[in-house]
Amino acid sequence: METIYLTFLIVGLFSILLGALAALRPRGLTFWEQRLCWRLGLISESKPTKPVKGEKFILERLLGCLLLIFGIAAIYYLPIKLSLQLGSGKSFTLALGSAAKMGNFEQLPSAPPDSVAANGLHIIRAGYGAGNTWLDVSKKIREKVQENALSIKASNEIAGDPLFGKAKILRVEYVLDGELKTAEVQEGQWLHIPSDVELHPEVQTVQTQEQLLALLKQCPAEVGLFGKNLRTGETIEYRADQPACLASIVKIFVLLEVMRQADAGALELSESITIKREDEKEICTISEALDKMIGVSDNEATTVLAARVGWDRVNALPSELGISGLSEKILPEPGVLGKVLAKRVYNKNKLCSLDNLLPQHGTARGIVQYFELLNSGRLLSESVSRNVLAVFDRNPKNFAPGATPTGFKSGGKGGSCAWIRPGRPPYNMVGWGLLIRNENSAVALCLWCEWFPEEMSEELKRKWCLTLSESIVNILLKQGSTEATQRNQGRPEKHGARSETVREAS
């Protein structure tokens, strides 16, 4: 590795030398260079009016400037330290003291845990890198500790880039109030010690509408939700008709179109398809690709499946099913969503316009309509619904773990995305559509959260979403249970479904 660093150093120095010679060679200025210097006020002669006949722009200067910039950048971004030492025999030795430590994280120098105080936060060691190449950033991390707490973003700004072009990890081993722990985050994420989940004990599952409203007021993100007890018809909603980015949730429509065409005999689930990835091609069956799409949200598998059944057929499904509140381009072709999110980060309003359904955007109510049709066997047909449910059942989603009763199946699709533009608030979204059911009862819900603060960890974002999701299930199943109890006790049955809307008093 140090040979590579030294090679880059030599190349950088050589580029600077060549660049300086080419850019600064003592030649007469060309017409265009004179004109530029005159505009910048660097020469006082009169404005040049005509280029010299046959004169050409000196390309050597442009090349020289590029070499100069490359050389400076190559040296500036090298994660090395150079020192000139006087060795034995009065000879000079150029020592390469790389800041990137070779070996595992455990090989980084550390402070003995038993040497630190019992109280407070103490950094034992910290590394930034991956595999067998780590930067020792212990000193930098210790400098960031304030009042026994640490908040830092994992990035090359900490101490350089030990692995150019590769994803890195910030890992910190520490002692907090006498307990030895290790925390790590991916490059681009924030590390909080104590964790921001521990710092927010108020994020707890609730049991009533009033408590849910109070919880929504505390949530630092923009939230929309809709839930429905499919047996009793009772609903709970908050911004249920507010459009938001649905990210990978929309893959449920690809699944539906595949099953529709399989049911019609237009394709076989055992048919082989090729999934193209960055550096390889993967051959699998359509059934296996569906599991990749729903189970692990494989984007490449989704693209291949959508191309196989037709993008236009997937996008026609919401209208065909009579589902409102979803974009006409519920699954745009690759690249479209990025352009949409790029515009959103420059918009002054965080929430989308109610009359402008952007590509891959929709409402929580619209997604719940899909799952309601699915549960009743009316998602195109009973056989198609049964086959769609089979894929969800073999790829379960535990999006309300603390509220899902034993014996209930939990299936659906989650989604998340992030979009960053310099100088603008970073956009992010986390959410899901979910169907929880057994033989006697079912609850469908959709929840989305947009614009969480940049410094919030992925763990706390997910905790917020899980807490809201569990609260919806708690409230709806409790309502359904109460009604069932009343019926069993011989009380008069209420006519019509009751709709609960979580709103602030006007």
Profile the chain (506 residues) by mean pLDDT over runs of 10 residues. Answer: 53 63 56 65 60 51 65 58 40 40 71 75 91 88 89 87 84 89 87 80 89 93 97 95 96 98 96 90 96 96 97 97 96 92 88 90 98 97 97 96 94 93 86 96 97 89 95 86 44 44 44
User: In terms of domains, do 332 and 375 share one?
Assistant: yes
For residue 41, what pLDDT is reported? Answer: 65
Is position 148 within any domain? Answer: yes
Is position 93 within any domain? Answer: no
Residue 4 to residue 20: CA distance in whole angstroms = 24
Which residues make beta-bridge pairs with 176?
A: 121, 179
User: In terms of domains, do 343 and 253 share one?
Assistant: yes
Boundary-marking domain end, from 84, 115, 146:
84
Is position 282 within any domain? Answer: no
pTM: 0.69
Is position 55 within any domain? Answer: yes
Rg over CA atoms, the chain: 30
For residue 120, what pLDDT is reported? Answer: 87
Residue 414 to residue 497: CA distance in whole angstroms = 28
User: In terms of domains, do 438 and 340 share one?
Assistant: yes
Pairing of strands 150-153, 100-102: unpaired
Is position 300 within any domain? Answer: no
User: In terms of domains, do 177 and 38 share one?
Assistant: no
DSSP classification of residue 145: -
DSSP classification of residue 437: E
User: If you search the block for the tokens 């020469």, which residue do you land on?
Assistant: 43
CATH at residue 368: 3.40.710.10
Boundary-marking domain end, from 84, 114, 139:
84
Dihedrals phi, psi of 369, to nearest 5 degrees: -60, -40
User: In terms of domains, do 177 and 221 share one?
Assistant: no
User: In terms of domains, do 36 and 138 share one?
Assistant: no
User: In terms of domains, do 244 and 115 share one?
Assistant: no
- For the stretch 127-142, pLDDT in tens is 999 888 888 899 899 9
CA-wise closest residue to 397 among 408, 387, 386, 383:
408
Structural domain harbouring 58: 2-84
User: In terms of domains, do 392 and 446 share one?
Assistant: yes
Give Cβ neighbours of residue 367 (< 8 Å, ≥ 6 apart).
226, 246, 249, 252, 326, 433, 446
Give the other-Cβ count within 10 Å of 50's Cβ: 7
Boundary-marking domain end, from 84, 118, 146:
84
Residue 388 to residue 376: CA distance in whole angstroms = 12
Is position 274 within any domain? Answer: no
User: In terms of domains, do 161 and 232 share one?
Assistant: no
Is position 418 within any domain? Answer: yes
User: In terms of domains, do 115 and 23 share one?
Assistant: no
Pairing of strands 244-245, 272-276: unpaired
For residue 106, what pLDDT is reported? Answer: 77
Q: Encoding tokens for residue 90?
A: 């009065």
Q: What is the dihedral of CA 155, 161, 163, 168, to 10 degrees?
A: -10
User: In terms of domains, do 183 and 226 share one?
Assistant: no
User: In terms of domains, do 67 and 135 share one?
Assistant: no
**How many separate domains does the chain show?**
3
Cα dist from 25 to 34, 45, 167, whole Å: 16, 22, 42
Is position 45 within any domain? Answer: yes
Rounded to 5°, the CA angle 53-58-59 comes to: 135
